[in-house]
Amino acid sequence: MVKSLYSKEVFEHFKHPRNLGKIKNPDAVGEAGNLLCGDVMRIYLKIKNNRIVDVKGEVLGCLVAIANTSMLTTMVKGKTLKEALKIRKEDLIKKLGGPEKVPPFKLHCSILALDALHEAIYNYLKQRKLPIPKELKERHLAIQKTLKIIEQRHKEFIEFEKNLFDESTQKIH
Ligand code: FES
């Protein structure tokens, strides 16, 4: 049933994700989250001469988010930072079987993967005091704002769960 909802590419990258995990001593890390689902993604980069020589991703998210992270890492490996920034959500979705194979309510999973990549590149440029494109700066501000809201929601949720637990233990005693 679930399988029929998605393309074979999505399913393949979900079942056998490429480049998942962390890079030891990365040159840059980027994190992004989605407000609607609360999912979070992290991208680690190793960069040499302005080129991405290694990339890994961590996902706290859905099947499509995992497939997107996996596919995106295969797409950016070996690319220059400029080339990597040119990848659009449409390119990613196309590689995953096209928009007709990704349900509309799952399109944001591709944006999440790209946001994490953009954040990693932003952080890399910032740390090295290199010029940052205007569009990337603006995206960075929006991503950070979203992450703050998600963090606050997580805190409230944990507090809610804790109170629920305390209440239920009191009733038992
Ligand atoms: S449902 Fe949120 S990233 Fe997929």
Give the integer Cα–Cα distance in Å for 61 and 63.
7
Predicted local distance difference test score (pLDDT) of residue 21: 96
Predicted local distance difference test score (pLDDT) of residue 3: 56
DSSP 4-69: HHS-HHHHHHHHS-SSBS--SS-SEEEEEE-TTT--EEEEEEEEETTEEEEEEEEEES-HHHHHHH
Above pLDDT 70, what percent of the chain?
97
Predicted local distance difference test score (pLDDT) of residue 163: 86
Give the integer Cα–Cα distance in Å for 19 and 158.
31
72 vs 100 pLDDT, higher one = 72
Residue 122 amino acid letter: Y
Render pLDDT for 79-133 as a digit per residue (tens, 0 to 9): 999 999 999 999 999 999 988 777 777 888 889 999 999 999 999 999 999 999 9
Mutate to test the pocket of ligand 1, among 37, 40, 115 (most ligand atoms within 8 A of CB): 37
Per DSSP, 109 falls in state H
**Pick from 31, 29, 32: which is nearest to 46 by CA?**
29
Report residues whose beta carbon is within 6 angstroms of any ligand 1 atom: 34, 37, 39, 61-62, 64-65, 106, 109, 112
Could you identify the atom of ligand 1 that is nearest to the CA of residue 105?
A: 1
Predicted local distance difference test score (pLDDT) of residue 100: 78
Q: What is the mean pLDDT of residues 48-70?
A: 95
Per-residue pLDDT at 24 exceeds 90 = yes
Instruction: State the average pLDDT for the chain.
Output: 91
The alpha-helical segments, DSSP class H, found in 53-131 are 63-76, 81-85, 89-95, 108-127
Could you identify the atom of ligand 1 that is nearest to the CA of residue 36?
A: 2
Provide the β-strand partners of residue 58: 42
Mutate to test the pocket of ligand 1, among 14, 102, 105, 106 (most ligand atoms within 8 A of CB): 106
173 vs 167 pLDDT, higher one = 167
pLDDT confidence tier of residue 75, bands split at 50, 70 and 90: very high
The CATH T-level fold of domain 2-172 is Sufe protein. Chain: A (3.90.1010)
Predicted local distance difference test score (pLDDT) of residue 117: 98
- Which residue ranges make up each domain of the chain? 2-172
Indicate which residues carry an active-site annotation.
37, 109
**Pick from 8, 15, 115, 6: which is nearest to 70 by CA?**
15
**Pick from 62, 59, 17, 25: which is nearest to 40 by CA?**
59
Predicted local distance difference test score (pLDDT) of residue 60: 92
Give the integer Cα–Cα distance in Å for 126 and 141.
13
Predicted local distance difference test score (pLDDT) of residue 68: 94
Could you identify the atom of ligand 1 that is nearest to the CA of residue 59?
A: 3
pLDDT confidence tier of residue 4, bands split at 50, 70 and 90: low
DSSP 140-158: HHHHHHHHHHHHHHHHHHH
Q: How many CB atoms lie within 10 A of CB 58?
A: 17
pLDDT confidence tier of residue 165, bands split at 50, 70 and 90: confident
